């Protein structure tokens, strides 16, 4: 037996970069079909708030070389490549209640959030 060759290690499957709930898909479909027709949503992470990081979203005409392309259902969402390590496994949702509505992120990498919920840290 040749001891210089170790058996190949099994590669651990990574979770998807991001998934979208049905509510997020429905809301994005409406946005893509109306006010933001012909544009794509780009998600990134910026520095903000008391915990240090925040989710940022903006509309772009086309993907850049620095974007990861996430396909969920029949939709495309872009993720800034610099944000991928912070977002692996994140679930994007859309919620509405009596006072607010908006996209939310359930991120397994978060270690905590500030009191107002504006920022997070990993």
Q: Where are the domains of the chain?
A: 18-109
pLDDT tens profile 36-56: 888 999 999 888 766 578 889
Other C-beta atoms lying within 10 Å of the C-beta of residue 121: 15
pTM: predicted TM-score of the whole model, two decimal places: 0.78
Instruction: Write down the pLDDT at residue 86.
Output: 86
CA angle 54, 73, 66 (to 5 degrees): 45
CATH number for the segment(s) 18-109: 2.60.300.12
53-83 burial by CB neighbour count: b if 16+ within 10 A, else e?
bbbeeeeeeeeeeebbebebeeeebbbbeeb
The helix/strand/coil state of 110 is coil
Of 42-46, 107-111, 118-122, which one has max mean pLDDT? Answer: 42-46
């Amino acid at each position: 037996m040749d001891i210089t060759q170790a058996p190949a290690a099994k590669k651990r499957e990574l979770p998807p970069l991001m998934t979208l709930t049905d509510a997020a898909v429905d809301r994005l479909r409406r946005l893509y079909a109306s006010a933001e027709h012909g544009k794509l949503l780009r998600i990134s992470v910026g520095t903000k708030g008391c915990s240090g990081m925040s989710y940022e979203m903006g509309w772009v005409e086309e993907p850049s070389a620095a974007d990861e392309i996430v396909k969920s259902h029949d939709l495309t969402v872009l993720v800034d490549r610099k944000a991928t390590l912070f977002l692996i496994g994140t679930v994007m949702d859309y919620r509405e209640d009596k006072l607010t509505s908006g996209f939310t992120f359930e991120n397994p990498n978060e270690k905590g959030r500030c009191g107002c919920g504006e920022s997070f840290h990993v």
